[in-house]
Structure formats: C-alpha cells, structure tokens
C-alpha cells in the first residue's frame, strides 16, 4: 500500500511537470483547437513529432558511432562523409522523406512474442531508427507498449530537467538486446558516463527485461494454483462479476412481468381467481363482442386520420407557406422544407396530445365520481390503469418540447434525410399507444357499468385487435387514388419540394429559356408518386405490424395462467390430460428423430452453429427471445401463486432497485476489463529484478502512465497509434453498415475517429486516459460489440453474463464548440449516465455513436487485425507488418480484409501474393503439415492522387512497399525451431488464440521465430544477388552482395555502398518483390520453354 501511494504521488508530480513541459513545448497542438473533424489536422500534428524524432534519431546515430569507436580504442575524427550523408537522410523532415510505418497485429501472447522477436531483428540490423509510426492491435500492443515506455524512460537532474534517455533505437542501447543487462538491482544497468545525445553504455549480461517477459508467458495467471492471489483474483472477477448484469436483467424482467400481470388482472378482473371464475359462469375467450368490433373500428379510423395528416405534411403549398410563414431558420443546417414540416408536426403533436390529455382527464374525473367502495373490481381496474395516463401525459409533453423543438438534437443524432421521418415515427407511436390505451380504458369501464355477466378473458386481446384495425386501415388507405394540386402564380416566390421541382422542370423543358418564376404552375400530382411519402407510409405499416405481434405475444403469455385457474376451479382434468398428451408426444418425436437422424440435445447447438451465417443468427435470436419469454412466464407464474404483494408494488420495487443500481453503479468498473487492463500493465509496463539476496525489486513501474505522457520531447521512439474499434451496429450511417464498426485511435496527440471527430489527448476525458487502458481496449476481444461479427444472440448473452472487456468512454463529439456540454467538462458525463440504457443497447446489438458515451473494443473488430489502416491513411512509403493473427493455414485473411477496406475507402491498391508463406500442407484432421517456403511477402502499394474541394491536386500519385511478415516454419530454420515444430505441428507456429498460457519453451520458440524472420529475409535477398553476380550486371550486383554480407555477418551498414547507390533500398524492395511473387523464376521457366 505504501508503495502504491508512493507511485501515485510520483505520478501526480510527473503529471504536473509534463503538463508544464507540454505547454511550453506546444506539443499537444492546442493552437489548432481541442476538437477537429479532419484527419489532416491530426496528421499534421503527428508530423511535427516525427520531424523532432528524426532529428533525435540522427543525433543518437552519431553519438552511438562515436561511443563505439571510443570503446574500441579507435581514433576517430567524427563521422565519415558517407556516414554524414546517412545521418542527413535520417534527419530529413516528413515533407522531404515519406514516412515509414511498423504494425504489430493482434493475437494475444502469440503476437506479443512473435513481434518482440521481429522488432529485435529490425533493431539488430539497424532498421528500427527509420520507423516513424508504430501501430498495434490487441496482443501486439503488449510489445509495442513495453518498447515505447522503455524508450521513454529518462534520467532527470535534481531540478527536474531531463539529462538523457536510458535507451534508444540503436542496437547497443536497445532494451530488448539480449546481450546487455538493461536492469540490475540498482536500477538501469549503466556503465560509464553519457556520450553526446545518449546515456551511459549498458552493462553486458543477461537481459533482465526479456527474462521478466519470458517468466510471464502465462500472463493472465502467472502463478497457477487454486489458492494463489492471481487465481483468486481471476475467479473473483470472472465468476462474480456476471452477478451484477444478471441482477439488472432480473430487475428489468421482474418489473415488466409485474406490470404486465397487474394490467392483465385489471382487465380480466376476477377471471384470474378461482372464486371469481366460479361466480361468472362461462367466460368468452374469442374477441367477438361489440367491444372488439368497436376497438377494430377505432383503430381503422385512427390509421385513416394519421394517413391524412401525413399527406398534409408531405404536401408543399408554396403560395400559402410563403405568405403566412416568412423563412426565419433557427439553425443554418435545417433547410426550409424540413423546418416547415417539423414546425407543422410540432403543432399537430401538441394539439393532438393536448386533446388526448383533456379527454383522459375528463374521463378519469368522471369515472372517479362514480367509483364504488374500495376493494371492488371496478376500483381495482381504475387505479391500476390511472398511472398509465399520467405517464403518457408526461412523456408526450416531453416529446413535444424536446424532439420537435430541439434542432441540435435532431442534427446530432439523425442524418438530415431521416430527421423528419424519425420525428413522425416517434409522434405516431405516442399517439397510437395513447389512443389505444384510452379506448380500452373507456370500453372496460363501460363493461363494468353495463353489469355484464362479468369481465371476460377476451379483454386481453383488445390491444391486438386495435393493432389489427390500424394495420387494415393503413393497407386500405394505401390503395386510395390520392392526388394533390400544385398551383402557384407567376411572380410569387416558389417553395416547391424537390420532387415537385422535377415535374415542374418536365413541364418547362419544352421551352429552354423559360424560367419557373415567369410562368404559372398548375398541375395535379399523385401523392403516392413521392418516394418520401411512400417510404414513411410503408414504415408506419411495419411499425404497426411489430406492435400487433408484440400484443399477441403478451396476450398469449396470460392464457396459461387463465387455463390453469380454470382447470383448478372446475376440477377439470382436460388441461392436465392435454399437457400429459403433449409431453408424451413431444418425447416420442424426440426419440424418433434421435433414432433416425442422430439428433441429441447435446449436438443441437453444434447443428445450429453449422447453419449459414444469416440463418444461424436468426435462429439464435429466436432462441434468445424464447428464453426471455420463458423467464417472464416463470416470474408471472410465481406472482400468480403468491398474494404477498400486489403486482404493482413488486414492479415499483424492481424499478426502484433498477434506478439505484443503474444510477450509482459504474458498469465500466463492474466489467472484467480492469482485471484485463491490470494484467497488461503489469506485464508490459513494469519490470522486476531479483537481487543477489534473492529479493524481488521493482526496476520500473509505468502502470499509471497517461497516454499523453508517452514519447516525450527528445524521445526517438516511433509515434505509437493504438487501434481500437468504435462499435456501430446501430448507426444511421450506411458506410459502416456491414463492418458495424470504425477504427478509433488513441495516440499521444489525438484520440478519435472519422465519425466522431478527434480530440486533443490531454483534453480528452480530462487527460486521464491511461496508456495501459488504451492497450487493453485494443485487445478487448470478447464483448457485446464484436464489430463486423456482431449479432443479436451473441450480444445479448455476452451482456447478460457480463463478458464485456470493452468500455464506454466519452464521445468526442461532446467537445464540439457548438455542443453546450463542451465547456463543462464533457468527460464528467461518464459518472452521470443511467447505465442500464447502455446495457440495453449492448444487449440488442444497437450500439451507435449517437449517445454521450461510445463503446470501444478490440481493434481487430474493424476487420483490421494488423493495424495497417492508419498507416495507409498516412501514406507511408514503406510499411512492415508483423501478422501473428489466428490463421494457421496461411491464407492471410486479416491482411486481405484490410486491403479491401483501403481499396474501397481510400482508393489504395496493393499487389501482394502470400503463397510463399502458406504451409505446403496443413490438414488438421490428418494431423499433417509441411513447412512453408519463406517467411515474408512483399507487395507494391499505389496511393492515388488526392484533390481538394475545388478540384486542385493536393498529393500526386505515389508508390510504396508493404513487407508482410507472418509466423512460418521453413526448412532453413534452426534445428531447435524445427524440432519443436515436429512435435507441435498443429499448435505451432500459430497456436489457438485461446492459448494465452505460454510456458518458457513455447515463449522462447515463438520469439526466436520472429527474430530469425528478418535474418532469413536478408539471406533470401543475399541469395538473389549471388545469382545476379553470375549475370551481366556482376560488378554492381557484387557491391550490393557485399553490402548484404557485411550486414548479415557483422551487423554493420556499409555507408560507402549506400552513398554510392542512393536507390539501393528501392532496388532491394524490387528484388524482394520479385522473390516474393516468384516472377523471376517464372520468367526463367518461360525462357527455357521457348528455347
């Protein structure tokens, strides 16, 4: 506890110092504003940091060369001319030298270990200082965060001024160099004094950082055992936390069941009691009474009224509107037609709800005076239904004031083309429900006063009858030949709708010189020729049909209780006998199917899962609905048997507990995310070493690192972009309708996405976003929001069981200047929301960007499990990707998925072939596998030219390279790797993602495979030039071959060759592309065939 408080205190001190440094250095880009909708602003801020990083990397290169010469007792007068050119090239600004990006894929500990070896290989051969960007997804973030925090580790003097960084991207000072000690019991294992831009040399010895990571290959539960702290913490989180969401789920169903049962018993009065049933004689089950026909007729007439009103809304009368309502828009974004339509809708809704409210009040007061003594069936019904009208009155008044008047809400939540239709739907839904409730209330009271034989069970069908009448009325109204008259006199300003303008243009097209204002407009137009009117009317039909189905389901829920009471009251054996017959028949059917088709309850789910995806999702969704209805029936059965409390009291208690739980409990903290985040922080942002006395000492602890603290000024680490998924299965936008998500980035300067916009990181959420929290969000693989895989059944079950690794965070849109909450700490909204509404969105798979909080999960859910999308957006010249995602057959599905996305979204084309990475054979059923041909694939990137709004070219067409590395075993790999592969062919090199429990051997083999990937790629390139030496360009090829040999054998760059051949890297890329695609071998084969 003392150590934790000490770390917190140091972190707050560091925050204050970093805040001052950030303001002094103008790193956050606040001059551009807190919020921006344009990605270009974000990239421009990043370029400032990249330019600074490149200068620092060049200085570190010079200091490293000087320090190495001094350590080897070499007399040196500084850098040679070729080394100076190399340094100048390294320090070029982004405007001169294009960016270079590195991407670490998802895949849990599998990706973390493979990409750890990959970055070791890149640093060993001197490539790492060239990388400007580093993107990570999921497990790749473990290595990326560990490297970034280590490279950001600095030494300060007593005044707090930075003296030097402990580590950098040069191999001799790289924290993952296995030949140096990095940490010892005294802290960083330094030797000597700082040299130039770099700190003291690192001691030789066993790398404590690598040892720490290796010991935590089983990173989720490092110390196994039923009574260990790690195991108990995991069990306490994963097995206890679901009780919170299950409790919320139970409260919702309990409240619904209680109110539904209460209203049903109020409608049917004593029908649900045995004494009442005995006194009533024969009950009428089928709704064939006068009351039913009255309900049907009112529903039919109501739909005609709504249709007529909508016809007026969608009709533009230019002369009347322009004369009576001069155009004064309250907001510039609302066009004239939409404003006038909304204005008319507001008046209609206000008048309608006011009339209904007065009618309800009159009926309520009138019947109150006629009430008999309390305790009677009439009194019970009266007081049971009265709260409904108070609720509808309040809801209707709030709707009129909020939804038809607050245009800022309309703009923020609904696209412009759907605004008016959405308001119409909400208004009609409110009117439909209120009219239906008022009608049934009045009819039921008439039934009491007319002293019928008694309240009959058919009353529960009346809501469905009203819905059926409304649906039939809409169907008939749709077939009416309705026409409207479009008329305007010449010289009067016209205000025609866009569809009317089409017809006006057709009338005037015979006279090309005529203008609309010069002629009278007089013609008739069919109402149904307007696509907007047809659309809204068809939508209304669907809405009423949904209501009809819901009312039927609710009515059927009450029937079993009725039959049960009826059988008990009459002493009848019909119901028990029917139940026994149905049960026996069902058992016989299952037995027959089991014998003939091999069906068993155990393999039912397996058969469902093997269905086509769309059909499977619908079947599972129906099962979820049946599951919920079954629970509602069970709850109502218990309420039916118990007379301890009135159903309304039970419902009110459930709602009260729901409000308390949802208002005062933060369901972000009640999810398993924080266990996941803590484990990531402990593995990647903390280092422990063992002293000579056998005690464990903390060498570094960056678990409380804020996101905007990373890579401070003067740090040469690549600019880290953490890729997460903004889940959008319920969005209005059509672009992400299939992906159901969009990339959302966390970085030092900005956080956000294209849909929500971007916010400066030190302002977003008050600058409180922790670095490990962002890494954990990037790996939140299991959540209700599952990106393009999201479907209703999966979302519901993961929400119910609280398997929610994602988080709800502040929507960047709240930081817009025109949003009222933007000036009042927008991130405070995370502590003021009613959480069950967000769980409701998760359970229905209807998460969107329209709420104050947005849902973020694993970046792989966007379809980009490698982290390439942000690098393509930044038009990187060279991109190196380490892809250890779950694809043992080597089809590179994740790669081609993101390549399709950038083709569609950005027009970027990538020509790449991955056949060489695929295993020659992989058959899990036969337990057979053969090695791959190579470790890499190279693709050509073609960036299209970009233009501004005026059509001026901003960026020309450009070419680039994608180097794709994936875990692959080849015959040239070391014997230890091949030996492990021989005994683990199905689990190596791509073990299942569920295997997050690596032992020492598995961790080391996976890391080693990543390290030799770079070396073997250079060896393939060397072999290519060994063949070239035998050809016509032998002298030039010989120099390049010598460059590669020096690099491979001595890990030294021949700067003279590099200076002599400025296009050497480009030539190497072409050579690797030739090797990867096999074009050279194909050409030789075709030449041999021709000879």
What's the CA gap between 653 and 258, in Å, rounded? 10
Q: 3-class DSSP state for residue 886?
A: coil
CA 1057 to centroid of chain Cα atoms: 48
Predicted local confidence at residue 876, as pLDDT: 96
Phi, then psi, of 204 in degrees rounded to 5: -80, 145
Confidence of residue 8 (pLDDT cuts 50, 70, 90): very low
CA 1076 to centroid of chain Cα atoms: 35
Predicted local confidence at residue 1069, as pLDDT: 92
Torsion sign (Cα): 374, 376, 382, 384: positive
* b/e map 536-557, b = 16+ CB within 10 Å: bbeebbebbeebbeebeebbeb
* 8 Å CB contact between 181 and 206: yes
Kind of pairing between the strands at 133-136 and 909-911: unpaired
Burial class of residue 168 (count of CB atoms within 10 Å of its CB; 0-12, 13-18, 19+): buried
Mean of the pLDDT values across residues 290-294? Answer: 80
Closest by CA to 962, choosing from 1077, 1078, 1082, 1040, is 1077
Predicted local confidence at residue 49, as pLDDT: 92
Predicted local confidence at residue 882, as pLDDT: 95
Q: CB neighbours of 335 closer than 8 A, spacing ≥ 6?
A: 416
With a cut of 90, say whether residue 304 has pLDDT above it: no
Q: What is the pLDDT of residues 824-869, one digit of tens each?
A: 577 678 888 899 999 999 999 999 988 889 999 999 999 999 999 9
DSSP 597: H
Closest by CA to 4, choosing from 805, 690, 711, 686, is 686
Predicted local confidence at residue 274, as pLDDT: 39
* b/e map 122-145, b = 16+ CB within 10 Å: bbbbbbbbbbbbbbbbbbbbbbbb
What's the CA gap between 567 and 573, in Å, rounded? 7
Other CB atoms closer than 10 Å to residue 627's CB: what's the count?
A: 14
Other CB atoms closer than 10 Å to residue 636's CB: what's the count?
A: 23
CA 1005 to centroid of chain Cα atoms: 33
What's the CA gap between 809 and 753, in Å, rounded? 13
Beta bridge partners of 720: 134
Q: What is the pLDDT of residues 117-151, one digit of tens each?
A: 999 999 999 999 999 999 999 999 999 999 999 99
CA 583 to centroid of chain Cα atoms: 45
Mean of the pLDDT values across residues 463-486? Answer: 84
Q: For residue 925, what are its two tokens?
A: 């059923």
Beta bridge partners of 1083: none
Beta bridge partners of 753: 757
What's the CA gap between 859 and 722, in Å, rounded? 8
Q: What is the CA radius of gyration of the chain?
A: 36
What's the CA gap between 459 and 465, in Å, rounded? 10
Q: What is the pLDDT of residues 739-776, one digit of tens each?
A: 999 999 999 999 999 999 999 999 999 899 999 999 99
What's the CA gap between 863 and 898, in Å, rounded? 6
Mean of the pLDDT values across residues 362-391? Answer: 66
Confidence of residue 736 (pLDDT cuts 50, 70, 90): confident
Beta strands in 651-729 (DSSP E): 686-690, 696-701, 719-727
With a cut of 80, say whether residue 330 has pLDDT above it: no
Q: 3-class DSSP state for residue 106?
A: coil
* 8 Å CB contact between 339 and 326: no
Q: 3-class DSSP state for residue 102?
A: strand
* 8 Å CB contact between 90 and 1058: no
Q: What is the pLDDT of residues 500-542, one digit of tens each?
A: 544 455 544 444 444 444 555 566 667 777 777 788 888 888 8
Confidence of residue 1081 (pLDDT cuts 50, 70, 90): very low
Q: 3-class DSSP state for residue 316?
A: coil
What's the CA gap between 480 and 527, in Å, rounded? 10
Predicted local confidence at residue 492, as pLDDT: 46
With a cut of 70, say whether residue 970 has pLDDT above it: yes
Predicted local confidence at residue 31, as pLDDT: 34
Q: What is the pLDDT of residues 1003-1028, one digit of tens each?
A: 999 999 999 999 999 999 999 988 88
What's the CA gap between 763 and 641, in Å, rounded? 57
> Of 315-319, 413-417, 674-678, 1080-1084, where does the model show the most confidence?
674-678
Q: How does DSSP assign 160-218, residue by residue? A: S-EEEES--SSGGG-TT-TTB--EETTEE-EES--BTTB-PEEPBS--HHHHHHHHTSS
Beta strands in 804-935 (DSSP E): 807-810, 853-858, 878-882, 909-911, 921-923, 928-930
Q: For residue 1006, what are its two tokens?
A: 């996976």
With a cut of 80, say whether residue 916 has pLDDT above it: yes
Q: CB neighbours of 850 closer than 8 A, spacing ≥ 6?
A: 412, 413, 414, 731, 732
Q: For residue 495, what are its two tokens?
A: 């205000």
What's the CA gap between 810 and 653, in Å, rounded? 31
Phi, then psi, of 326 in degrees rounded to 5: -60, 145
Predicted local confidence at residue 267, as pLDDT: 74
260-274, 307-321, 654-668, 1047-1061: range with lowest mean pLDDT: 307-321
Mean of the pLDDT values across residues 1052-1080? Answer: 84
Predicted local confidence at residue 406, as pLDDT: 54
Better-predicted residue by pLDDT, 937 or 5: 937
Q: CB neighbours of 313 closer than 8 A, spacing ≥ 6?
A: 341, 344, 345, 348, 420, 424
Beta strands in 505-555 (DSSP E): 521-526
Q: For residue 354, what are its two tokens?
A: 């006011």
Confidence of residue 643 (pLDDT cuts 50, 70, 90): low
Q: How does DSSP assign 335-369, residue by residue? A: -HHHHHHHHHHHHHHHHHHHHHHHHHHHHHHHHHH
Predicted local confidence at residue 204, as pLDDT: 87
124-133, 313-322, 560-569: range with lowest mean pLDDT: 313-322
Confidence of residue 732 (pLDDT cuts 50, 70, 90): confident
Using left for φ > 0, alpha for ψ between -120 and 50, and beta otherwise, residue 779 falls in alpha
What's the CA gap between 584 and 973, in Å, rounded? 64
22-26, 136-140, 985-989: range with lowest mean pLDDT: 22-26
Confidence of residue 780 (pLDDT cuts 50, 70, 90): very high
Q: 3-class DSSP state for residue 667?
A: coil
Predicted local confidence at residue 132, as pLDDT: 95
Mean of the pLDDT values across residues 428-435? Answer: 79
Predicted local confidence at residue 316, as pLDDT: 45
Beta bridge partners of 808: 855
Confidence of residue 329 (pLDDT cuts 50, 70, 90): very low
Q: What share of the chain is helix, strand, coil (3-state, %, to 5)?
A: 55, 10, 30
Predicted local confidence at residue 227, as pLDDT: 75
What's the CA gap between 117 and 127, in Å, rounded? 14
Q: What is the pLDDT of residues 85-109, one digit of tens each?
A: 999 999 999 988 999 999 999 999 9
Confidence of residue 491 (pLDDT cuts 50, 70, 90): very low
Beta strands in 867-913 (DSSP E): 878-882, 909-911
Confidence of residue 412 (pLDDT cuts 50, 70, 90): low
Q: For residue 511, what are its two tokens?
A: 């006279």
What's the CA gap between 768 and 761, in Å, rounded? 9
With a cut of 50, say whether residue 30 has pLDDT above it: no
With a cut of 50, say whether residue 285 has pLDDT above it: no
Q: For residue 1011, what are its two tokens?
A: 């390290």
Better-predicted residue by pLDDT, 8 or 854: 854
Q: 3-class DSSP state for residue 453?
A: coil
With a cut of 70, say whether residue 12 has pLDDT above it: no
Q: What is the pLDDT of residues 211-223, one digit of tens each?
A: 999 998 888 887 7
Residues in the chain: 1091
Predicted local confidence at residue 1091, as pLDDT: 46
What CA–CA distances, in Å, run from 565 to 277, 560, 569, 633?
A: 8, 9, 6, 15
Q: Please provide the average confidence, as pLDDT, over all residues in the chain.
A: 79
Q: In which element (H, E) is residue 636 found?
A: helix 613-641
Predicted local confidence at residue 247, as pLDDT: 93
Whether the bond between 1060 and the residue before it is cis, its omega within 30 degrees of 0, is no
Confidence of residue 397 (pLDDT cuts 50, 70, 90): low
Please give, one letter per residue, the 3-state secondary structure of 148-167: HHHHCCEEECCCCCEEEECC
Kind of pairing between the strands at 853-858 and 719-727: antiparallel
Whether the bond between 827 and the residue before it is cis, its omega within 30 degrees of 0, is no
Confidence of residue 1056 (pLDDT cuts 50, 70, 90): confident
With a cut of 50, say whether residue 29 has pLDDT above it: no
Beta bridge partners of 202: 190
Predicted local confidence at residue 735, as pLDDT: 79
Better-predicted residue by pLDDT, 356 or 393: 356
Mean of the pLDDT values across residues 217-235? Answer: 80
Helix axis angle, 531-570 relative to 290-313, nearest 10°?
A: 160
């Amino acid at each position: 506890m003392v150590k934790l408080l000490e770390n917190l205190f140091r972190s707050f001190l560091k925050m204050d110092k970093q805040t001052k440094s950030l303001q002094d250095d103008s790193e956050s880009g606040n001059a551009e504003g807190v919020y921006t909708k344009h990605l270009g602003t974000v990239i421009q801020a990043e370029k400032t940091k990249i330019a600074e990083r490149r200068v620092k990397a060049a200085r570190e290169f010079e200091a490293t060369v000087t320090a190495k010469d001094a350590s080897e007792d070499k007399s040196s007068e500084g850098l040679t001319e070729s080394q100076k050119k190399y340094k100048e090239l390294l320090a070029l600004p982004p405007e001169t030298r294009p960016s270079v990006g590195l991407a670490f894929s998802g895949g849990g500990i599998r990706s973390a270990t493979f990409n750890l070896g990959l970055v070791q290989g890149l640093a060993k051969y001197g490539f790492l200082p060239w990388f400007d960007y580093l993107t990570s997804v999921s497990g790749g973030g473990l290595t990326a965060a560990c490297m970034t925090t280590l490279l950001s580790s600095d030494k300060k003097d007593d005044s707090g001024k930075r003296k030097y960084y402990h580590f950098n991207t040069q191999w001799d000072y790289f924290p993952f160099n296995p030949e140096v000690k990095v940490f010892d019991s005294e802290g960083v294992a330094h030797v000597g004094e700082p040299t130039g831009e770099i700190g003291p040399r690192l001691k030789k010895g066993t790398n404590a950082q690598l040892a720490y990571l290796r010991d935590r290959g089983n990173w989720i539960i490092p110390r196994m055992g039923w009574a260990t702290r790690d195991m108990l913490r995991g069990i306490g989180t994963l097995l206890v936390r679901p009780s919170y969401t299950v409790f919320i789920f139970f409260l919702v169903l309990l409240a619904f069941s209680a109110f539904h049962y209460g209203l049903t018993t109020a409608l049917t009065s004593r029908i649900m009691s045995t004494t009442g049933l005995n006194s009533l004689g024969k009950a009428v089950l089928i709704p064939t009474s006068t009351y039913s026909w009255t309900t049907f007729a009112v529903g039919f007439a109501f739909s005609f009224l709504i249709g007529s009103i909508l016809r007026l809304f969608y009709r533009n009368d230019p002369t009347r509107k322009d004369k009576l309502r001069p155009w004064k828009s309250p907001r510039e974004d609302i066009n004239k037609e939409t404003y006038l339509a909304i204005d008319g809708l507001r008046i209609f809704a206000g008048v309608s709800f006011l009339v209904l409210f007065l009618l309800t009040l009159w009926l309520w007061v009138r019947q109150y005076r006629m009430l008999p003594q309390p305790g009677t069936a009439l009194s019970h019904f009266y007081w049971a239904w009265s709260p409904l009208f108070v609720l509808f009155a309040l809801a209707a008044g709030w709707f009129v004031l909020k939804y038809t008047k607050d245009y800022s809400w309309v703009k923020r939540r609904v696209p412009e083309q759907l605004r008016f239709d959405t308001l119409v739907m909400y208004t009609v839904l409110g009117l439909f429900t209120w009219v239906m409730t008022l009608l049934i209330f009045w009819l039921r009271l008439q039934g009491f006063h007319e002293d019928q034989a008694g309240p009959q069970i058919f009353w529960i069908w009346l809501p469905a009858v009203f819905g059926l009448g409304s649906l039939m009325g809409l169907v008939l109204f749709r077939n009416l030949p309705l026409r409207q008259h479009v008329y305007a006199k010449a010289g009067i300003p016209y205000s025609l709708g866009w569809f009317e303008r089409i017809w006006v243009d057709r009338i005037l097209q015979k006279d090309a010189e005529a203008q609309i204002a010069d002629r009278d407009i007089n013609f008739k137009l069919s109402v149904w020729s307007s696509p907007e009117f047809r659309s809204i009317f068809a939508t209304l039909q669907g809405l009423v049909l949904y209501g009809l189905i819901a009312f039927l389901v609710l009515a059927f829920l009450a029937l079993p209780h009725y039959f049960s009471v009826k059988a008990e009251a009459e002493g009848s054996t019909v119901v028990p006998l029917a139940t026994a017959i149905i049960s026996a028949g069902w058992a016989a059917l299952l037995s027959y199917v089991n014998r003939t088709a091999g069906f068993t309850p155990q393999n039912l789910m397996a058969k469902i899962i093997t269905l086509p995806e769309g059909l499977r999702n619908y079947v599972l969704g129906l099962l979820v609905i049946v599951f919920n209805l079954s629970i509602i029936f069970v709850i109502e059965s218990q309420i039916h048997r118990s007379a301890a409390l009135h159903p309304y009291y039970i419902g009110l208690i459930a709602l009260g507990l729901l409000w308390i739980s949802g208002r005062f409990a933060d369901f972000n903290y009640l999810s398993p995310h924080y266990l996941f985040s803590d484990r990531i922080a402990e593995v990647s942002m903390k280092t422990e070493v063992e002293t000579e006395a056998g005690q464990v000492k903390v060498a570094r602890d960056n678990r409380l690192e804020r996101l905007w603290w990373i890579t401070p000024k003067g740090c040469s680490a690549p600019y880290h972009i953490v890729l997460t998924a903004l889940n959008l299965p319920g969005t209005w936008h059509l672009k992400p309708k299939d992906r159901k998500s969009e990339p959302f980035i966390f970085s030092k300067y900005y956080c956000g996405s294209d849909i929500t916009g971007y916010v400066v990181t030190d302002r977003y959420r008050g600058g409180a976003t922790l670095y490990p929290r962002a890494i954990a969000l990037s790996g939140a693989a299991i959540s209700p929001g599952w990106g393009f895989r999201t479907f209703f059944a999966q979302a519901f079950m993961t929400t119910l069981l609280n398997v929610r690794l994602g988080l709800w965070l502040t929507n960047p849109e709240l930081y817009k200047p025109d949003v009222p909450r933007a000036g009042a700490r927008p991130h405070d909204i995370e502590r003021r929301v009613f959480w069950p509404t967000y769980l409701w969105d998760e359970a229905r798979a209807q998460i969107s960007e329209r709420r104050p909080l947005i849902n973020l999960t694993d970046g792989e859910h966007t379809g980009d499990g490698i982290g390439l999308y942000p690098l393509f957006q930044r038009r990187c010249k060279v991109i190196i990707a380490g892809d250890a995602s779950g694809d043992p057959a080597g089809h590179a599905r994740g790669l081609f998925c993101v390549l399709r996305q950038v083709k569609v979204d950005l027009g970027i084309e990538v020509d790449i072939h991955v056949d060489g990475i695929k295993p020659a054979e992989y058959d899990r059923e036969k337990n057979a596998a053969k090695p791959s041909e190579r470790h890499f694939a190279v693709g050509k990137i073609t960036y299209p030219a970009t233009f501004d709004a005026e059509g001026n070219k901003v960026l020309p067409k450009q070419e680039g390279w994608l180097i794709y590395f994936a875990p692959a075993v080849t015959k040239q790999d070391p014997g230890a790797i091949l030996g492990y592969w021989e005994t683990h062919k199905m689990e190596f090199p791509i073990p299942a993602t569920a295997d997050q429990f690596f032992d020492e051997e598995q961790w080391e083999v996976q890391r080693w495979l990543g390290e030799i990937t770079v070396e073997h790629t250079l060896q393939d390139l060397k072999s290519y030039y060994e063949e070239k030496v035998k050809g016509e360009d032998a002298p030039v090829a010989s120099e390049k071959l010598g460059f590669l040999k020096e690099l491979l054998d001595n890990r030294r760059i021949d700067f003279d060759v590099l200076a002599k051949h400025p296009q050497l890297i480009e030539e190497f890329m072409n050579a690797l592309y030739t090797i990867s695609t096999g074009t050279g071998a194909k050409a030789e084969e075709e030449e041999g065939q021709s000879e």
